[in-house]
Chains A and B, each alone.
Chain A
């Protein structure tokens, strides 16, 4: 019972948070992209419920919003992990063996090209084309911190550190 109440409260809070985002954008359908960006910033992805709520409140067809959300690579329709690893596979990083780092992370976290988010929703690996830091290749960005001249070992150590911190926090 308590759990149900908490879940419901969570849903209401989430709906209100989206309403706030919409209000901040004057409920203006022409601001659809910034609205979706802000929701994604909050939730780390665009859930079906969030897209439907935006459709209803802005009176914009849901098929259209889904079209916009799937058009831009920036938007994700799948839940993302708490910690986001962005690994560069641009020309410079690729030549400097970024795939070695990727394979290490895949095997460490049990992920693959098809499945890039861990089941416990702790990590998501994204492959990006260029981070504009080619001089530091290969580059990995972990939660907005840039790690240049990365190696599979360094990457593993960073992951281990986060896992340890998360364990300590719980």
Chain B
């Protein structure tokens, strides 16, 4: 018997191997069956019934048994005859969409998801131009308690993507289905608010929501207000991974580094001082690698976990309260930028500190939460980072200005906080913080120049990467085991294995989102695996092409230590400005 297995989709014969369902096989043949609840990286749920197809299964006697099956939850079989579009199927899908729309707010023109709403898209594809049913639903309260995410149950179609991503990717399970039938809804326990739940603000629920039921909280207006306020001096920092995805909003391929165009656009929008979070990513490496070295040399708590991802930090505070001393005490690059900029820039720019308005552009929704934490407030109670917007929000601002982004001539970042090395740039991808730290630690500990800068073992889209690095320190070989993990569920499992002594590592990098910040919930919607890989590849291509690839070679950071940070990493001043403390979050999970 031949190993090649085939089925036909709409009369076209297609070979298949490991595809787990007909939907994937059909996509291979270029037929995109509509679906709301199928996400390849999540478990198969089969709730929305959009992908129902006619499936014919030939029996041993040659007769064909035909059934209507959900393509997402039907495994392909040899000889299957699949029809994705028949008169009946088309009619069924239209009715299903009509029923969803009857139970939906349908305020499309002023919905934030209007342009990229999957419900709207499918309704248009199927030609649903009237809804014959009238709604019989309760108006549910909108939950805007979270600084990152807004829940509007009135737009929910109960596909369950958010419930599954929260539990299967992040292990947080802040939300679940409640009640039953026409009263069913997705909510935190006891119909509570997200802000009171175990939610870590990663925003991946918003990233997988096909409609406007879970969206990213918008802070655009705060930024326009500051830009139009003549008493304010507005400065902006931009995170590494923003430039690797922003171009997608303007028709450029995923993974195109649009750093120069992005700076040019910000200048056109009225930002006078445009700086780079890569600068404080470098600063983080000086601090964090030094902290790690001291923990190793002085018998401190190991393994040390990175602390740049605020969703991970909140997860640790909530789910691993006994591991908080393992977290690096370093602030995230965003928070380091806030404290350094608010201290350094008033003199540099000739303004008072209270009139300096710092905008932060992030790929991330959890950064909105981080910026609002009490510990990152000025003495007068205002945040160090005054407003945090996402990549998507930046794109919306650029579009509202009518700027032809793709045609812009590149402009450079401003001095002094606008220079970062490509070690800072790779912070945007899973493995990048570890690689940047290893580039620093190698030279710091061995005193010799690092020849091959590429630690490829920590790169890629695997959710857990392990590597060992042997360094010659004063004549002795020292081996450091490192782990790189993304997805907080995976991180939680790693913590358990470390506690149980099953895994011996000294340094662990954790990021919440798939592949790191490049897939943050603030990035352009519709991130597929292919787009994530492209954003990651683009990041490493920019790293390869960069002139300065090690954080320790950032002269501006060295100058900053001289003028502001007590001369050396982990000094008293550096601790005061660049480090933080963690709090146990004692809530029922």
Closest-by-CB residue of A relative to B191 is A66
For residue B580, CB closer than 8 A to chain A, the reply is: no
Count of chain A to chain B residue pairs whose CB atoms are closer than 8 Å in the complex: 44
Is A63 in contact with B180, judged by CB distance below 8 angstroms? Answer: no
Q: How far is the CA of A117 from the CA of B167 in the complex (A)?
A: 37
Is B180 in contact with A70, judged by CB distance below 8 angstroms? Answer: yes
The winner among A56, A62, A72 for most chain B CB atoms within 10 A is A62
For residue A67, CB closer than 8 A to chain B, the reply is: yes
Closest-by-CB residue of A relative to B181 is A71
- Which residues of chain B are within 8 angstroms of A100 by Cβ–Cβ distance? none
Partner of A70, one of B173, B179, B198, B588: B179
- Near B by CB (< 8 A), chain A positions 48-85 give 48, 51-52, 55-56, 61-67, 70-72
Contact (A62, B189) CB under 8 Å given A52-B588, A55-B588 = yes
Q: Chain B's nearest CB lies how many Å from the CB of A114?
A: 14
Q: Chain B's nearest CB lies how many Å from the CB of A70?
A: 5
Q: How does the 8 Å CB contact mask read for B180-211 relative to A, with 1 for contact and 0 for none?
A: 10000001111000000110000000000000
Q: How far is the CA of A39 from the CA of B179 in the complex (A)?
A: 19
Q: Chain A's nearest CB lies how many Å from the CB of B54?
A: 32
Partner of B589, one of A48, A51, A55, A72: A55
Q: Chain B's nearest CB lies how many Å from the CB of A39?
A: 16
Closest-by-CB residue of B relative to A59 is B589
Tell me what chain B mostly uses at the interface: helix, strand, loop, or mixed.
loop
- Which residues of chain A are within 8 angstroms of B188 by Cβ–Cβ distance? 63
- Which residues of chain B are within 8 angstroms of A71 by Cβ–Cβ distance? 177-180
Q: How far is the CA of A55 from the CA of B176 in the complex (A)?
A: 14
For residue B174, CB closer than 8 A to chain A, the reply is: yes
For residue B156, CB closer than 8 A to chain A, the reply is: no
Q: Chain A's nearest CB lies how many Å from the CB of B86?
A: 35
- Which residues of chain B are within 8 angstroms of A65 by Cβ–Cβ distance? 189
- Near B by CB (< 8 A), chain A positions 24-68 give 48, 51-52, 55-56, 61-67
Is A66 in contact with B176, judged by CB distance below 8 angstroms? Answer: yes
Tell me what chain A mostly uses at the interface: helix, strand, loop, or mixed.
helix
Partner of A66, one of B167, B180, B190, B198: B190
Q: How far is the CA of A135 from the CA of B174 in the complex (A)?
A: 49
Is A61 in contact with B179, judged by CB distance below 8 angstroms? Answer: no
Is A63 in contact with B173, judged by CB distance below 8 angstroms? Answer: yes
- Which residues of chain A are within 8 angstroms of B174 by Cβ–Cβ distance? 63
Q: Chain B's nearest CB lies how many Å from the CB of A123?
A: 26
Closest-by-CB residue of B relative to A73 is B180
Q: How far is the CA of A64 from the CA of B178 in the complex (A)?
A: 8
For residue B175, CB closer than 8 A to chain A, the reply is: yes
Q: Chain A's nearest CB lies how many Å from the CB of B214?
A: 15
Q: Chain A's nearest CB lies how many Å from the CB of B144?
A: 19
Is B173 in contact with A64, judged by CB distance below 8 angstroms? Answer: yes
Q: How far is the CA of A66 from the CA of B180 in the complex (A)?
A: 12
Q: Chain A's nearest CB lies how many Å from the CB of B46?
A: 18
Is B588 in contact with A67, judged by CB distance below 8 angstroms? Answer: no
Q: Chain B's nearest CB lies how many Å from the CB of A92?
A: 25
Q: How far is the CA of A55 from the CA of B587 in the complex (A)?
A: 11
- Near A by CB (< 8 A), chain B positions 513-564 give none
Closest-by-CB residue of B relative to A53 is B588
The winner among B187, B190, B198 for most chain A CB atoms within 10 A is B190
Is B197 in contact with A63, judged by CB distance below 8 angstroms? Answer: yes
Is A61 in contact with B176, judged by CB distance below 8 angstroms? Answer: yes
- Which residues of chain B are within 8 angstroms of A51 by Cβ–Cβ distance? 189-190
Q: How far is the CA of A70 from the CA of B192 in the complex (A)?
A: 14
Q: Chain A's nearest CB lies how many Å from the CB of B185?
A: 10
The winner among B174, B176, B188 for most chain A CB atoms within 10 A is B176
Partner of B177, one of A48, A56, A61, A67: A67
Q: Chain A's nearest CB lies how many Å from the CB of B499?
A: 15
Q: How far is the CA of A107 from the CA of B40 in the complex (A)?
A: 57
Q: How does the 8 Å CB contact mask read for B156-183 relative to A, with 1 for contact and 0 for none?
A: 0000000000010000011111111000
- Which residues of chain B are within 8 angstroms of A61 by Cβ–Cβ distance? 167, 173, 176, 189, 198, 589
Q: Chain B's nearest CB lies how many Å from the CB of A165?
A: 36
What are 19 A-B contacts with C-beta separation under 8 Å? A51-B189, A55-B189, A55-B588, A61-B167, A62-B189, A62-B588, A62-B589, A63-B173, A63-B175, A63-B187, A63-B197, A64-B173, A66-B176, A66-B178, A67-B176, A70-B178, A70-B179, A71-B177, A72-B180
Q: A63-B189, A70-B178, A71-B179 are in contact. List 18 more A-B contacts (CB 8 A).
A: A55-B588, A56-B589, A61-B173, A61-B176, A61-B189, A61-B198, A61-B589, A62-B589, A63-B173, A63-B175, A63-B187, A64-B173, A64-B176, A65-B189, A66-B176, A66-B189, A66-B190, A67-B176
